[in-house]
């Protein structure tokens, strides 16, 4: 959509970071004109921080807007979470206004909430392949209390909401614009946020499966912090630097000639049930990471299998990762091996130029930009 000359900011309010993105047309291309990313907890231990998260988000957004020098008064933002329900249904082909009315009655069959508790929206994806007189419809519902709280945050930041999207669709928008997939591509998009992972399967130029799950980056960080008795910030840094388990060339251990040392090592092994390695802290962290990543991979695999087993489903060809946890060491080879698919990290700026003064900051934040870029594109791409 294009809304005239209203300058608009793409506002991605995550659960750990707020990202603000302003794009502009430059000739036939698009430029990232203004950008900033600010932590919601600003160096504090997330687990021990204030419970007034709403106010912390408002403050982080205001800081980001000020740092970026953004004067826009309108926003495109998004929501996510397990109270966002996306369904793909088939209905008789009819004029769009009639279809909207019909959905009010049909939606109750597909939405696990009372209709008066949700906001509904829909998009006609096209005619059903192999059938006449039917259309594929994407139906989205969001709990009203979630939307009301989100809009209140936007207004308290000082912005006027223009569009409220869904994170997984914004991420898809960024992918489609920058990676230029062809019609035959079938791609699983996985955006691993702090508290929510968005899974979206792209086929024939549209989303054909979308699901949010609450297994995400903080799940891993909290497990490290709890089991290794350390603060959240240190656990987060360890998660990124230690990364996913991956076979590395084994290094020979120093020869143990001292019988006392060998005896101590053997006793510790029996007590802990694990081999006492020279790099035991890293080994412990990697075991925790592996267990949690495998839980996440199980959900991703289930989603892919569910999609592929549908009547209109096709074989997923590759996986595109994004989000802060996609920065984890070795995540690409680990995911590729476990899923049996090629895996790559989204490039949210492949077809977008970056203002010279922003290059350093944007390069460091690139994995976080998928949703924010996708939101900002809503106002510059017709």
Question: In which element (H, E) is residue 151 found?
Answer: helix 144-157
Q: What is the mean pLDDT of residues 101-109?
A: 82
Q: Do residues 68 and 35 make contact, with C-beta atoms less than 8 angstroms apart? A: yes
Our CA angle for 368, 369, 374, nearest 5°, is 140
Question: In which element (H, E) is residue 334 found?
Answer: helix 331-339
In this structure, the chain runs to a length of 382
Q: What is the mean pLDDT of residues 165-193?
A: 96
Of 22-36, 95-109, 169-183, the poorest mean pLDDT is in 95-109
For residue 259, pLDDT beyond 80? no
Q: Alpha-carbon distance 289 to 323, whole Å?
A: 17
What CA dihedral angle connects 298, 291, 250 and 270, to 10 degrees? -140
Residues 123-158 pLDDT 10s: 888 888 777 888 999 999 999 999 999 999 999 999
Q: Alpha-carbon distance 230 to 222, whole Å?
A: 10
Residues 6 or more apart whose Cβ sits within 8 Å of residue 140: 84, 85, 86, 120, 121, 122, 166
From 8, 5, 18, 374, select the one nearest 191 (Cα to Cα): 374
Of 199-203, 220-224, 295-299, 312-316, the poorest mean pLDDT is in 312-316
Centre a 10 Å sphere on the Cβ of residue 119 and count the other Cβ atoms it contains: 13
pLDDT at position 21 is: 97
pLDDT at position 48 is: 62
Q: Alpha-carbon distance 166 to 323, whole Å?
A: 15
The domain ranges of the chain are 8-85+112-218+293-377
- Percent of residues, the chain, with pLDDT higher than 90: 67
pLDDT at position 232 is: 92
For residue 204, pLDDT beyond 50? yes
For residue 272, pLDDT beyond 60? no
What confidence tier does 307 reach under pLDDT thresholds 50, 70, 90?
very high
Q: Alpha-carbon distance 310 to 303, whole Å?
A: 11
pLDDT at position 49 is: 60
Q: Alpha-carbon distance 155 to 21, whole Å?
A: 17
What is 233-292 written as a DSSP string? HHHHHHHHHH-S----PPPPPPP---HHHHHHHHHHHHHHSS---TTHHHHHHHHHHHHH
Give the largest Cα separation in the chain, rounded. 84
Q: Alpha-carbon distance 79 to 290, whole Å?
A: 29
For residue 3, pLDDT beyond 50? no
For residue 339, pLDDT beyond 80? yes
For residue 356, pLDDT beyond 80? yes
For residue 375, pLDDT beyond 70? yes
Q: In Å, how far are 72, 125, 134, 135, 140 from 92, measured between CA atoms?
A: 42, 13, 4, 6, 18
Q: What is the mean pLDDT of residues 182-203?
A: 96
Q: Do residues 338 and 294 make contact, with C-beta atoms less than 8 angstroms apart? A: yes
Residues 48-94 pLDDT 10s: 666 689 999 999 999 999 999 999 999 999 999 989 999 998 888 88
Residues 6 or more apart whose Cβ sits within 8 Å of residue 162: 3, 6, 8, 74, 75, 76, 379
What confidence tier does 6 reach under pLDDT thresholds 50, 70, 90?
confident
CATH number of 8-85+112-218+293-377: 3.30.420.40
Of 5-19, 88-102, 298-312, 317-331, the poorest mean pLDDT is in 88-102
Partners of residue 337 on adjacent β-strands: none
CA 199 centroid distance within chain: 8
């Amino acid at each position: 959509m294009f809304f005239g000359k209203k300058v608009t900011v793409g506002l991605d309010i995550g659960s750990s970071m707020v990202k603000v993105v302003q794009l502009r047309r430059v000739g036939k291309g698009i430029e990232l004109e203004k950008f900033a990313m600010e932590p919601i907890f600003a160096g504090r231990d997330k687990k021990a921080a204030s419970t007034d998260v709403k106010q912390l988000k408002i403050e982080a957004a205001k800081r980001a807007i000020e740092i970026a020098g953004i004067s826009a008064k309108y926003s495109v933002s998004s929501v996510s979470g397990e109270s966002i329900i996306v369904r793909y249904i088939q209905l008789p082909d009819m004029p769009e206004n009639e279809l909207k009315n019909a959905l009010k009655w049909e939606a109750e069959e597909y939405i696990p909430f009372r209709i008066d508790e949700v906001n509904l929206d829909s998009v006609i994806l096209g005619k059903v392949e192999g059938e006449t007189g039917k259309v594929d419809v994407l139906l989205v519902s969001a709990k009203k209390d979630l939307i009301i709280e989100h809009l209140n945050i936007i207004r308290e930041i000082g912005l006027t909401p223009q569009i409220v999207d869904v994170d997984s669709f914004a991420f898809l928008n960024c992918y489609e614009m920058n990676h230029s997939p062809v019609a035959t591509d079938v791609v699983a998009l996985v955006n691993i946020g702090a508290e929510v992972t968005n899974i979206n399967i792209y086929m024939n130029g549209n989303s054909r499966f979308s699901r949010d799950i609450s297994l995400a980056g903080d799940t891993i960080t909290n497990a490290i912090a709890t089991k290794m008795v350390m603060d959240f910030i240190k656990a987060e840094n360890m998660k990124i630097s230690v990364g996913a388990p991956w076979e590395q060339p084994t290094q020979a251990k120093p020869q143990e000639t001292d019988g006392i040392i060998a005896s101590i090592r053997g006793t510790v092994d029996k007590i802990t049930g694990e081999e006492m390695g020279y790099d035991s802290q890293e080994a412990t962290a990697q075991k925790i990471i592996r267990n949690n990543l495998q839980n996440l991979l199980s959900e991703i695999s289930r989603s892919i299998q569910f999609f592929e087993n549908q009547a209109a489903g096709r074989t997923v060809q590759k996986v595109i990762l994004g989000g802060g946890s996609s920065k984890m060491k070795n995540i690409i080879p680990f995911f590729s091996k476990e899923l049996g698919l090629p895996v790559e990290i989204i490039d949210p700026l492949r077809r977008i130029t970056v203002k010279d003064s922003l290059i350093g900051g944007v390069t460091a934040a690139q994995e976080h930009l998928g949703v924010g870029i996708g939101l900002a594109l809503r106002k510059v791409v017709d």
